[in-house]
Amino acid sequence: MKLKEGFCTQKIAKGQVMVPIGSADTDFRGIVRSNSTAAFVVDCLKEETTRDEILEKLKATYDAPEDVMAKDLDDVLEKLDSINAINR
Amino acid sequence: MTDRDFNIELAGEVFRIKAIYDCAFEFCRDYLTEKPESATITISQSDIDFERETGNKNDLDIPKDYPDSYLELLAIYRKVATVMPERDVLLIHGSAFSFDGNGILLLADSGVGKSTHASLWQKTFGGRVVMINDDKPLIKAGKDGAYIYGTPWSGKNGINTNTKAPLKVMCEIVRSETGRTYVEDTDDSERWKILTQQTFKGASAGSAAKTLELTDRLLENVPVKRVYCALNDVSAVEAYEGLKGLLDQSER
């Protein structure tokens, strides 16, 4: 899976924001604000990857229980799916 | 300088405009300058056709017989707005005015009452209020603060002044259900949503990313309030009471 073309991300003072631009294949016209974990996931999705690969990268980067990270990851992926931002 | 090849100054940036029709010159008359340009905006028929297609796709209901000369004006501003982020300038949809020299920007979707509320400030406070732009002002988002600028592109009433003011507060306008006007704080998430909805982001990823960077800078420097407006004879006074702590009183 991979983040779709047409979504623009930008690091800001408090995390990351993401918006669709004109070419994005989505009806979503709002803004997604990401904390550091969500921003990490979004950055991983800029290349073709899998859920398990992202989870491995999270485990290598963050010091938190695996089940907590897995739930955070699934929440972010669900949110991105809800705005049609991921090609699967 | 000719009627179809002229320079204008917007938000401190000078553009050479190479237009197809004469009316762009008249439209931009208050913003003409002899200063040298930093960029050239050249309009072609395909730019005008794009405006017609885009307007209809976005339900702006642009009539098929809208003159190309009018659509050319939209095309010029789109091109200007596209290169503005790299100059630290944002195009935003809102009604901007100054009060005792303090820039105030009202934000909301069309039809909520931005222009009506701005006109109530004018009616209430007279010459202390200068309308800057009633529809699409420009904001220069500097590292130490922001300035809001007039432009000719100012909505159906064409209300604008070639001036600038330090931007002191941005206000989301919401219709009041209580018959009185009052001011509330916004949280960080709300502020991002309010600004993102009303900011021109351009069609490219680079332009959008720079716009988001400038939005972040703007939010660091300028507060965002939510103003519940009753749109009656006392609403400007009531709004002022809620905002006056943010305004510089020394410029009166």
Q: In the predicted model, is pLDDT for residue B59 greater than 60?
A: no
pLDDT digits (tens, 9 = 90+) for B11-25: 999 999 999 999 999
pTM of the model: 0.89
Provide, for chain A, the percentages of residues in helix, strand and coil under a 3-state DSSP scheme, each rounded to the nearest 5: 40, 20, 35
pLDDT digits (tens, 9 = 90+) for B69-93: 999 999 999 999 999 999 999 999 9
The parent domain of residue A27 ranges over 2-87
Span B123-131, average pLDDT: 97
The nearest CA of chain A is from the CA of B146 a distance in Å of 17
Q: In the predicted model, is pLDDT for residue B66 greater than 90?
A: no
Q: DSSP labels for B39-84?
A: EEEE--HHHHHHHHHHHHHTT----TT--HHHHHHHHHHHHHHHHS
A–B interface: beta-carbon pairs under 8 A: 43
Hey, where are the domains in chain B? Answer: 5-83, 89-251
Q: Is B202 on the interface with A (CB under 8 A)?
A: yes
d(C-alpha B162, C-alpha B150), whole Å: 5
Q: In the predicted model, is pLDDT for residue B213 greater than 80?
A: yes
Per the CB < 8 A criterion, the answer to whether A67 and A43 are in contact is no
Question: What's the confidence (pLDDT) of residue B117?
Answer: 96
Number of domains in chain A: 1
Considering the domain delimited by B89-251, tell me its CATH architecture. Answer: 3-Layer(aba) Sandwich (3.40)
Q: Is B250 on the interface with A (CB under 8 A)?
A: no
pLDDT digits (tens, 9 = 90+) for A37-70: 999 999 999 999 999 999 999 999 999 999 999 9
Per the CB < 8 A criterion, the answer to whether B118 and B131 are in contact is yes
Per the CB < 8 A criterion, the answer to whether B194 and B169 are in contact is no
d(C-alpha B22, C-alpha B27), whole Å: 9
The nearest CA of chain B is from the CA of A28 a distance in Å of 11
Output the domain CATH number for residue A20.
3.90.930
Residue type, A3: L
